[in-house]
Structure 1
Protein backbone atom coordinates (compact mmCIF):
# COMPACT_ATOMS: atom_id res chain seq x y z
CA UNK A 1 0.00 0.00 0.00
CA UNK A 2 1.29 3.44 -0.89
CA UNK A 3 2.01 6.02 1.79
CA UNK A 4 0.33 8.70 -0.31
CA UNK A 5 -3.41 8.91 -0.85
CA UNK A 6 -3.09 11.49 -3.60
CA UNK A 7 -2.66 10.31 -7.15
CA UNK A 8 -1.56 12.31 -10.16
CA UNK A 9 -4.40 13.75 -12.21
CA UNK A 10 -4.03 14.32 -15.92
CA UNK A 11 -4.90 17.86 -16.91
CA UNK A 12 -7.33 18.15 -19.82
CA UNK A 13 -6.15 19.93 -22.94
CA UNK A 14 -9.25 21.95 -23.76
CA UNK A 15 -10.14 25.64 -24.15
CA UNK A 16 -10.62 26.29 -20.41
CA UNK A 17 -7.24 24.75 -19.62
CA UNK A 18 -5.60 26.77 -22.40
CA UNK A 19 -7.13 30.04 -21.16
CA UNK A 20 -6.14 29.39 -17.54
CA UNK A 21 -2.65 28.31 -18.58
CA UNK A 22 -2.11 31.43 -20.72
CA UNK A 23 -3.26 33.78 -17.95
CA UNK A 24 -1.21 32.07 -15.25
CA UNK A 25 1.90 31.85 -17.42
CA UNK A 26 1.99 35.66 -17.55
CA UNK A 27 2.59 35.55 -13.78
CA UNK A 28 5.18 32.75 -14.18
CA UNK A 29 2.80 30.18 -12.64
CA UNK A 30 2.55 26.67 -14.05
CA UNK A 31 -0.36 24.27 -13.56
CA UNK A 32 0.98 21.21 -11.71
CA UNK A 33 4.48 22.67 -11.85
CA UNK A 34 7.28 22.03 -9.38
CA UNK A 35 7.78 25.58 -8.04
CA UNK A 36 6.24 26.49 -4.66
CA UNK A 37 4.08 29.16 -6.32
CA UNK A 38 2.68 26.77 -8.94
CA UNK A 39 -0.92 25.60 -8.71
CA UNK A 40 -1.58 21.91 -8.05
CA UNK A 41 -4.84 20.68 -9.61
CA UNK A 42 -6.21 17.59 -7.85
CA UNK A 43 -9.71 17.55 -9.37
CA UNK A 44 -9.91 16.83 -13.13
CA UNK A 45 -13.24 18.71 -13.26
CA UNK A 46 -11.53 21.95 -12.17
CA UNK A 47 -11.55 23.23 -15.75
Structure 2
Protein backbone atom coordinates (compact mmCIF):
# COMPACT_ATOMS: atom_id res chain seq x y z
CA UNK A 1 0.00 0.00 0.00
CA UNK A 2 0.99 3.63 -0.19
CA UNK A 3 1.32 3.66 3.62
CA UNK A 4 3.80 0.76 3.49
CA UNK A 5 5.91 2.52 0.85
CA UNK A 6 6.01 5.78 2.82
CA UNK A 7 6.84 3.88 6.03
CA UNK A 8 9.75 2.10 4.32
CA UNK A 9 11.12 5.44 3.08
CA UNK A 10 10.82 6.96 6.54
CA UNK A 11 12.52 4.02 8.26
CA UNK A 12 15.31 4.24 5.69
CA UNK A 13 16.43 7.55 7.18
CA UNK A 14 19.31 7.03 9.64
CA UNK A 15 17.80 9.18 12.41
CA UNK A 16 14.32 7.60 12.32
CA UNK A 17 13.81 4.74 14.79
CA UNK A 18 10.02 4.35 14.55
CA UNK A 19 7.24 5.78 12.41
CA UNK A 20 3.48 5.72 11.99
CA UNK A 21 1.76 6.53 8.70
CA UNK A 22 -1.96 6.85 8.05
CA UNK A 23 -4.20 7.69 5.12
CA UNK A 24 -7.90 8.47 4.93
CA UNK A 25 -10.41 8.65 2.08
CA UNK A 26 -13.58 10.62 2.78
CA UNK A 27 -16.90 9.85 1.14
CA UNK A 28 -16.12 6.24 0.12
CA UNK A 29 -19.28 4.80 1.65
CA UNK A 30 -22.48 6.75 2.27
CA UNK A 31 -22.86 5.42 5.82
CA UNK A 32 -19.44 6.42 7.20
CA UNK A 33 -17.33 9.56 7.37
CA UNK A 34 -14.15 7.99 5.94
CA UNK A 35 -12.11 4.80 5.57
CA UNK A 36 -8.39 4.52 6.04
CA UNK A 37 -5.23 2.59 6.71
CA UNK A 38 -2.57 3.00 9.39
CA UNK A 39 0.79 1.25 9.70
CA UNK A 40 3.49 1.44 12.37
CA UNK A 41 7.06 0.25 12.12
CA UNK A 42 10.26 -0.01 14.15
CA UNK A 43 13.79 -0.35 12.82
CA UNK A 44 15.05 -3.91 13.14
CA UNK A 45 18.46 -2.90 14.54
CA UNK A 46 17.14 -1.33 17.78
So what's the TM-score if we normalise by structure 1? 0.34
So what's the TM-score if we normalise by structure 2? 0.34
**Structure 1 or 2: larger strand share?**
2
Whose radius of gyration is greater, 1 or 2? 2
